[in-house]
Amino acid sequence: MNKLLVKEGILSINNSLNDLDIKTNTLTLEISGNVCINDINNNTDLDLKIIMSDGSHLLYNRYNESINKFNLNIEITSNAYVEFNYSLKTLIASDISLNANIAGNNNISHINFHGITDQKGVIKNVATSKVDEATKDNEVLENLRIVTLNDAENMIVPNLLVRSDSVNAIHNTTISTVDKDYLFYLNSKGINKKDATKLIVDGFLKSNLKENN
């Protein structure tokens, strides 16, 4: 696993596993080959653009806490696979924008978001997957979930802008509280409510982050 300190605005990555330490608020990643990126605990606002070269494969895991803003734009042409997994726990207002733009054929784009709000935290999540006209054999997925630990009015806005008739497009969205059945089960094992809630929250956030196979 390579550990990369990122201070510049543009970075090209080819066939590698990487831990990113991001020290910039604007970053463009150029992806080629088979790439895995772990972007963990970089708790700063970020405008991230990912450019997928033809035939490239990207697994991107992102986790952070209490950021004001994150904006993602993924540009995809042909024969690419991208899975972007983002877990966020926030105690403040967080504005999250997740976008994928497909301009070619035979692509897979999966965006998975797991969010937790507590104390003064609130999440606004807008996700947009766009598939251009005259493209074919593409798959897009938006899987967006928020668990609310406070009284926040969280928001998820899923958008599938599909201009092609040869695409598999799916979105799943949920905003919920902690599952009472899980809490009851853990309480029955002698775990108090606070610790049980933490176990459930940690599991929810970690389950969204995947290992490279």
Write down the residue that tokens 């605005």 correspond to: 9
pLDDT of the chain, 213 residues: tens digit per residue = 789 899 889 999 999 999 999 999 999 999 999 999 999 988 889 999 999 999 999 999 999 999 999 999 999 999 999 999 999 999 999 999 999 999 999 999 999 999 999 999 999 999 999 999 989 999 999 999 999 999 999 999 999 999 888 899 999 999 999 999 989 999 999 999 999 999 999 999 999 999 876
Amino acid at 155: M
pTM: 0.96
Domain boundaries, the chain: 2-177
Give the CA distances from residue 166 to residues 81, 100, 188, in Å, rounded to whole numbers and listed in that order: 17, 17, 50
